[in-house]
Structure 1
Amino acid sequence: MTSPIRFVPRVASDAKKNLSTFIKMVRTEITPLLPCNDFSLNAWSIKGLGKKGDNGKYIYFSKLDVKPSRYYQEGSYSLSRPANIPDELLMREPFRSFAKTLVAYDYEQTKSKSINRKVLALRYLEQALFELNGCTCPTTTTPEVLNRACTLINERVGKCHSSSMGKSLEYVYKKMVELELVAVPSSWSSIIPARAQSYNRIGKEFDLERQRKLPSPLALEAMAEIFNSDSDDALEIFSSSICALMLCSPDRSIEMLYAPRDILTPDWVDKKTGEVGTGLRWYPAKGARPTVKTVIPSMRDIAVRAVEKLRQLSEPAQKLAEWYEKHHRIYLPPHLEYLRLNPRINQREINAILFSGNIRKLETNESARIMNWLDSNNVPRISTKRGSSVSFKDLERAVLKQLPAGFPIMDSETGMRYSEALCLARKGEFHALSIPSQCCFDKVSYGVLQRALKTSSPTKQSVFERRGYMDKDRKYLYLSTHMLRHYLNTLVRHSGLLTEDEIAVWSGRMSVRQNTAYNHESDRDVITKLRDAVGDPSRSVGPFSNIDNRIFIRRDEFANIKIITAHTTELGYCIHDYAQSPCQVHQDCINCNEVVCIKGDVRAETNLRKMHLELTRLQADAKAAFSAEVLNAAEWFAYQTKTLERVNQLLAILDDPEVPSGAVIQLSGVTPPSRLAMADEMRKIRIKPVSQSITSLDEVRALLTDSNMQNKGSSNDR
């Protein structure tokens, strides 16, 4: 449809009637995600609709905890058709119809790629409704039901993902309220708290978090050994080469899996050292601009070798991609081209086309594999005593359906074709016990890389377990691609060679604030970095940069130095040590023996001459007041005269041509008034006693009474 269909709620109707109208309208006007889907089906194809790198093919409207992989026909796992889930394990009605309608409507309006997460949130809501209400009518949704759904999420989902799942549930409920599908709508937010992000740099908690997010040195050494070995195992070559490239620059796994075949840029030469480096073309997955990430000279050869290994590994799949871009027919090797003329082909010929590439006698397991492939892809076959045969056209049609989503375009954001991708493989390429397909290919999913780096089940061993690499606790080593990203960010921050802005660009981030989550420098690392920078002008600025050229003195000698600290004042510098005591003459610096002037300091000299003019005027005013016998004028005149004398002394020295510029000037014979001395003088004032013959309280009371009477009498006289 050219324009989106928007549902307008009928405000006057009740929730159930509104729900019925909503379901009817969506089923009539909207296609459920893809043309191949239908509202009557309980499994919908999402091929090409999910997030980049998401290899999921179907969504299932099933109950909570149902695993579709257990219900494929004949027990065979195939992504070419959905699992056959029993009716009793599907969502209960009427919630199932509502879930299908909401998913289709939401995708029509938003084109959101997080379809799987919303379906999972609907499963939790359906289970909570049934537990609390005994039915699954969505109109009966209340905060109590939603809180129960959050409890179910907490019971099944780890702390890392439970908060985001709660937000998906919150999104679903808000949609229901907007569409007026809830009988008693209310404002509700997920009760699952977001995981607290700690930025502490000390303590056991930080060490454990650091250990969890950074790769172990043993795992890095083991992966380096695998990379440098002569292994011909496809999984080892692929995983070690990917890790090698991700140690050249901090990348996301999805960016690596969607990297172009011409990822390497021309070499560059360091002008200072003459060393040769290179660069990698990257298209960030989270909105940042495409960039070329610098590869330092020490990692240049590793990057080149890793790219070459990946190119050689993907070369057969690349040839298939180029073939299907030019021909809309099944690929056949030159020596099997004659089979196109055969209307029907037998098992040996089928095996040659699909797997082996040569017509030969089949083993028992090969026959079973062929039959399984034909049945899984709905290829009609005729069985006789001499074996099974199929129509060549039917086989060709089934193979062409196996072309990857969006073919020939692999990345719709960049327009990159499958034939231009670095990470491409034939189907079955990474299965240790099977032969890769001769005519089918696909992009490499993240699951392949994940299983290679960490054992997920007894039948899917990691490359570490295959080679027997263990840690000191006799546990198999493991890695994750995100660990390598954390590792490089921590290393470059510890080196101090890049700014925070440069680290963000190098890592493909849109915001510098995201750098903090990747900073795993401990307090010990920071102290070591500071110690290493002392005395190195290339790594520090200021006093620390030339500390090696300074002359050090003993601690007891330092204690004898009078000038320990200094700060700027209007007249020069104050050398009072505030760590020992507060200032005793605040804002009267000229009458203090701890003020220091520097000849040539224009600012200080200007202030001093302004002070001279002001003091001259104030002294004249004080003298006039003294002549007029104004109270306390004598003390004020004495203070202004003393201060003016200090200023004149300083100006005389500053104006003396024999005193060189830059000379440090400190007046001698200045004894500033001390607040402590004044307090001590107050304690020395002697108070004359009223009488030395007082011996009792009655005499004190009598004296007080007489004193009060005298005060009253004097008041009456006035």
Structure 2
Amino acid sequence: MPQPDITRLNERHFRRAVELLEDSSCRQGTISTLLQMLAFLSEKLILPAEVIRWQNPYVGDRSYSNLRGNNAPAAVKRQKVVNQDALFSIADVFSRPLTNLDDSDIMITSLTALLLSAPMRIGETLRWRTDCLRSEIDKNGAKQKYLAYYVPKTQSYTRKPIPATMTEVATEAIERLRSITEEGRRLARHMELTPTKFYRHPDCPDVPDDKLLTRQQVAQALGYIKTEDCMDFIKKHTGNYRLTGFTLETLWQLILIEHRNLNPHFPYQTPLKGMKPLKMSESLMCFRRSQFGAQRSTSPVLLTPFNPDYYRKRLDGTVRLDRKNQRPICFFAKHGLDLLRLNSHSLRHFVNRLAKQSGVSIETITEWSSRASIQQTRTYLHESSEQSRNRAAVIHGTKQEQQPREPITEEEANSYGRGPFHRSRYGICRRSWRAGPCIKFADCTNCSELLACKGDKIALEAVKSDLENMQRTRDAAERAVSAGERSGGMWLAKAEPQIIRLTELIRVLENPEIPDGSPIQIQGTDFSHESTLIREKAQESGIELLDKDRLAIEYGQDLIDCLNMLTN
């Protein structure tokens, strides 16, 4: 409207508001507020009846629950899952010596470690005191570490227990943050208690407050390495670039002006709303100006409130077409890692899911996460139906977890030796000497149905490989017999005929007088399709057919020769 008039609101204004909120993350909450406003204006009889009929369009299939929440598609939920590679990259930097890390690295890695220690929001970090990590003896007599601080969203104090696996990491992270912010807290206390005196930082010129400073001393007092940067600061507050005619007293007046611009809520970092926030001199997250700068040195005389974007933007390596991908503040690019992206809030959901998968009740997770309701926790768990089924099966003992064996290498296969551990083209057959050879040992070359093709190089290589393995098995069996392992004789009795058969087959397949493409059929010794049919009929009639191979192993080849003479 040319002139804003609340009495002239109509439905099109609310529809326009919905259009503007289409891609906004706060859409659902803002529309709820619009509905409350509409109800209020209706009660006061300010709006006409047709406007009152406007309803929230984002319900049913278009509701947050179905689009982005608990019932959202799997692809949407996967986008919210924490990037595991990003976590491994941050952990790698965290494990490096402190001498190789600057304050920015320590801030990123330590905050990540703490956000993985308990489900927290990045904004809650401003409520951490230097002694926020505490401990007590739990009901089981063990020492339990926890983070204690005030949660603005629930307007209550909380104690978040830290899992034992993260205790050492969280302790180290707190100590690192305390170390890089100690000087900032000293400066904040000076600003609170003696704001009229120049702060004597370690590099401050050792001269009286009212003595004129040289150009180099002015830069040194302000904490600038380059006089050019110092001149920009002086120009901003005086209108010229001259670095002469200043004392510590006059410089301090300029610093106080800049301090008030940078810290409008001092001695606090955030506006004074509700529960009084921490003073900067009490906060674990008390940083100085440009402390995370990639090109400028840390200011020894200026503070700056901690902004969660200092964390978020450094963990965003996303390539966008509308900008040059030169990201000097990107944590991953800085350390030569893959350009990944990590959302601080995804760590909160990640810890929730780990707790749920470990059997922690949803009521405990809700309290641990400082949420208002269990329904909110269910929305953020993002657990697939298959994961729910598997977890329930494990809890109720109806599923047995099995760990599949990893494939072995050629070197590992050779380490098994020969003999009862014999090779096949499919893997390793593990037997004992006394168990004897498997009844399926080198089965294909004993089958009358096997039809080989002369000239098939792949088949020839396979037969040669089988012959080599069979010869090694025979040699191992001979050594076992010589060592007193009498059952190795069964392996010799089985291997020798196979070696002869494979040798003859290779001779035929390599015979230059036989044209390539000629079919070669082997006369089997133990079965064919016909023998299978006979065995099935015998079984139906209650007749047991003797296995000649096993008879030969148990009674010797002479018995088989006698049986053959009788059948002939």
Give 1:410 deviation, angstroms.
Answer: 4.5
1:314–1:422 Cα contact (<8 Å) kept: yes
- Show the counterpart of 1:252: 121
Give 1:500 deviation, angstroms.
Answer: 2.4
- Show the counterpart of 2:188: 321
- Report SS of the residue matched to 2:284: coil
1:426–1:442 Cα contact (<8 Å) kept: yes
Give 1:278 deviation, angstroms.
Answer: 1.2
Paired residues for 1:295-314 under 5 Å: 295-314=162-181
1:447 and 2:309 matched: yes
Deviates more, 1:184-193 or 1:428-437: 184-193
- Show the counterpart of 1:466: 334
1:370 and 2:230 matched: yes
- Report SS of the residue matched to 1:208: helix
- Show the counterpart of 2:52: 187
Taking structure 1 as reference, are residues 146 and 200 closer, same or farther at Cα in structure 2, changes over 3 Å only? closer
1:243 and 2:103 matched: no
Give 1:499 deviation, angstroms.
Answer: 2.4
- Show the counterpart of 2:345: 482
1:214 and 2:81 matched: yes
Give 1:178 deviation, angstroms.
Answer: 9.0
- Report SS of the residue matched to 1:220: helix
Taking structure 1 as reference, are residues 267 and 221 closer, same or farther at Cα in structure 2, changes over 3 Å only? farther
* Paired residue type of 2:218: I
- Show the counterpart of 2:299: 437
Matched residues in 2 for 1:147 and 1:346: separation?
63
Give 1:283 deviation, angstroms.
Answer: 1.6
User: What do residues 275-323 of structure 1 show as CA deviations (whole Å, max 9, x unaligned)?
Assistant: x541111322212531221112211100100001101111121111122
- Show the counterpart of 1:196: 63
**Alignment TM-score, normalising by the size of structure 1:** 0.47
The answer for unaligned runs of 5 or more in structure 2 is 400-568
Paired residues for 1:641-680 under 5 Å: none
- Report SS of the residue matched to 2:64: coil
1:379–1:390 Cα contact (<8 Å) kept: no
Paired residues for 1:510-589 under 5 Å: 510-535=372-397
- Report SS of the residue matched to 1:510: coil
1:354 to 222, 226, 238: 222
Give 1:374 deviation, angstroms.
Answer: 3.0
Taking structure 1 as reference, are residues 227 and 189 closer, same or farther at Cα in structure 2, changes over 3 Å only? farther
- Show the counterpart of 2:524: none
User: What do residues 579-612 of structure 1 show as CA deviations (whole Å, max 9, x unaligned)?
Assistant: xxxxxxxxxxxxxxxxxxxxxxxxxxxxxxxxxx
**Alignment TM-score, normalising by the size of structure 2:** 0.59
Matched residues in 1 for 2:13 and 2:245: separation?
56
Matched residues in 2 for 1:173 and 1:337: separation?
65
* Paired residue type of 1:395: L
- Select the structure with the greater relative contact order (CA < 8 A; seq sep ≥ 6): 2
Matched residues in 1 for 2:13 and 2:67: separation?
34
- Show the counterpart of 1:399: 255
1:142–1:185 Cα contact (<8 Å) kept: no
- Report SS of the residue matched to 1:266: strand
Deviates more, 1:324-333 or 1:440-449: 324-333
Matched residues in 1 for 2:168 and 2:88: separation?
18
1:494 and 2:361 matched: no
Paired residues for 1:53-202 under 5 Å: 129=1, 135-138=2-5, 141-143=8-10, 145-147=12-14, 149-150=16-17, 153-154=20-21, 158-166=23-31, 186-187=51-52, 189=54, 193=58, 196-198=63-65
Equivalent residues, number: 381
- Report SS of the residue matched to 1:417: coil
Matched residues in 2 for 1:501 and 1:284: separation?
18
1:263–1:281 Cα contact (<8 Å) kept: yes
Q: CA RMSD in A?
A: 3.7
Give 1:390 deviation, angstroms.
Answer: 4.7
- Report SS of the residue matched to 1:160: coil
- Report SS of the residue matched to 1:262: coil
2:28–2:64 Cα contact (<8 Å) kept: no
Matched residues in 2 for 1:420 and 1:202: separation?
38
Give 1:408 deviation, angstroms.
Answer: 2.5
Structure ID, larger Rg: 1
Taking structure 1 as reference, are residues 421 and 137 closer, same or farther at Cα in structure 2, changes over 3 Å only? closer
Matched residues in 2 for 1:145 and 1:400: separation?
50
Taking structure 1 as reference, are residues 179 and 535 closer, same or farther at Cα in structure 2, changes over 3 Å only? closer
Give 1:449 deviation, angstroms.
Answer: 1.0
* Paired residue type of 1:517: T
Give 1:257 deviation, angstroms.
Answer: 3.0
1:504–1:515 Cα contact (<8 Å) kept: yes
* Paired residue type of 1:220: L
- Show the counterpart of 2:160: 293
Give 1:208 deviation, angstroms.
Answer: 1.4
2:146–2:160 Cα contact (<8 Å) kept: yes
